[in-house]
Homo-oligomer: A and B are copies of this chain.
Amino acid sequence: MPIELDPIGRVESPLADRASAPKQGFEGGPDAWIALDPRVRDGLDGIAPGDELLVLTWLDRAERDVLRVHPRDDRSAPLRGVFGTRSADRPNPIGIHPVRVLAVEGARIRVSDLEAVDGTPVLDLKPVLKPR
């Protein structure tokens, strides 16, 4: 039975398309806004600049019928299963992006190092947990 998700918001970013996006945020993603739906505003209570969050996105430009890829789009690298790679192309293309909060303005959050492209649906935000 399929599972239905409603995005909680969208990415507002200078990145216009996949070709211009880095593979991972720590390789140089730009600062971006996450514009949340005002109905989930209360979910941000207590989040402040400096917090480290995971942004979960729906990679809506991805191909969902791909099970093997050349890692990092390097065609000289051997094919391997998508579950051992961070390829956007996979059956359920959910992106996980570690970011730092720069500002919170109402239902909008400014974050650093987000490699998702403009308009990407946002599914969830979670704190980064560090095992003791």
Contact = CB atoms under 8 A, between A and B. Distances in A.
Contact of A92 (B8, B68, B127, B131): B8
Interface residues of A, number: 46
A3 interface: yes
A44 B10 CA distance: 31
A81 B123 contact: no
Contacts of A56: 92, 94, 96
A18 interface: no
B86 A129 contact: yes
Contact of A124 (B45, B79, B90): B90
A89 to B, nearest CB: 11
A46 B80 contact: yes
Contact of A81 (B45, B58, B85): B45
Sorted nearest first, the 4 A-B pairs with minimum C-beta distance are: A45-B81, A46-B80, A83-B125, A42-B67
20 contacts: A3-B4, A3-B6, A24-B129, A40-B67, A42-B81, A43-B67, A43-B81, A44-B81, A44-B84, A45-B68, A45-B79, A45-B80, A46-B84, A47-B81, A56-B92, A83-B124, A85-B127, A90-B124, A92-B123, A94-B123
